[in-house]
Amino acid sequence: MTMAVSPDVDEQQAFDELIAQDARIEPRDWMPEAYRKTLIRQISQHAHSEIIGMQPEGNWITRAPSLKRKAILMAKVQDEAGHGLYLYSAAQTLGITREEMTEQLIDGTAKYSSIFNYPTPTWADMGAIGWLVDGAAIVNQVPLCRCSYGPYGRAMVRVCKEESFHQRQGFEILLALMQGTDAQRAMAQDAVDRWYWPSLMMFGPPDEESPNSARSMAWKIKRFGNDELRQRFVGMLVPQAEVLGVTLPDPELAWDDDAQQWHTSAIDWDEFTEVLSGRGPMNAVRIQNRRTAHEDGAWVREAAAEYARKQALREREVA
Ligand SMILES: [Fe+2]
Ligand SMILES: [Fe+2]
Mean pLDDT across the stretch 255-273?
A: 93
Whether 48 contacts 54, CB under 8 Å:
no
Q: How far is the CA of 89 from the centre of ligand 1 (A)?
A: 15
Task: Answer yes or no: is pLDDT of 234 > 60.
Answer: yes
Q: How far is the CA of 162 from the centre of ligand 2 (A)?
A: 7
Give the pLDDT confidence score for residue 210 in this predicted structure. 82
For 169-186, the pLDDT digits (tens) are 999 999 999 999 999 999
Q: From the CA of 164, which ligand is nearest?
A: 2
Separation between Cα atoms, residue 231 and residue 244, nearest integer Å: 20
Burial label, 300 (beta-carbon count in 10 A; 0-12, 13-18, 19+): exposed
**Consecutive H or E run containing 239:** helix 226-244
Separation between Cα atoms, residue 317 and residue 311, nearest integer Å: 10
Q: How far is the CA of 274 from the centre of ligand 1 (A)?
A: 24
For 83-93, the pLDDT digits (tens) are 999 999 999 99
For 281-308, the pLDDT digits (tens) are 899 999 999 999 999 999 999 999 999 9
| Burial state string for 132-156 with b = 16 or more CB within 10 A and e = fewer than 16 | bbbbbbbbbbbbbbebbbbbbbebb
Comparing C-alpha atoms, which of 181, 80, 182 is closest to residue 126?
A: 80
Q: How far is the CA of 172 from the centre of ligand 1 (A)?
A: 18
Q: How far is the CA of 276 from the centre of ligand 2 (A)?
A: 20
Give residue 112's pLDDT band: very low, low, confident or very high (50, 70, 90). Answer: very high
Q: How far is the CA of 76 from the centre of ligand 1 (A)?
A: 9
Look at 154-163, 259-268, 278-287, 298-307 and tell me which has the smallest mean pLDDT: 278-287
Q: How far is the CA of 44 from the centre of ligand 1 (A)?
A: 13
At residue 256, what is the residue type? D
Give the pLDDT confidence score for residue 279 in this predicted structure. 81
Separation between Cα atoms, residue 15 and residue 177, nearest integer Å: 52
Task: Answer yes or no: is pLDDT of 218 > 90.
Answer: yes
For 46-85, the pLDDT digits (tens) are 999 999 999 999 999 999 999 999 999 999 999 999 999 9
Q: Please, which residues have CB less than 5 A from ligand 2, an ion?
A: 134, 163, 166
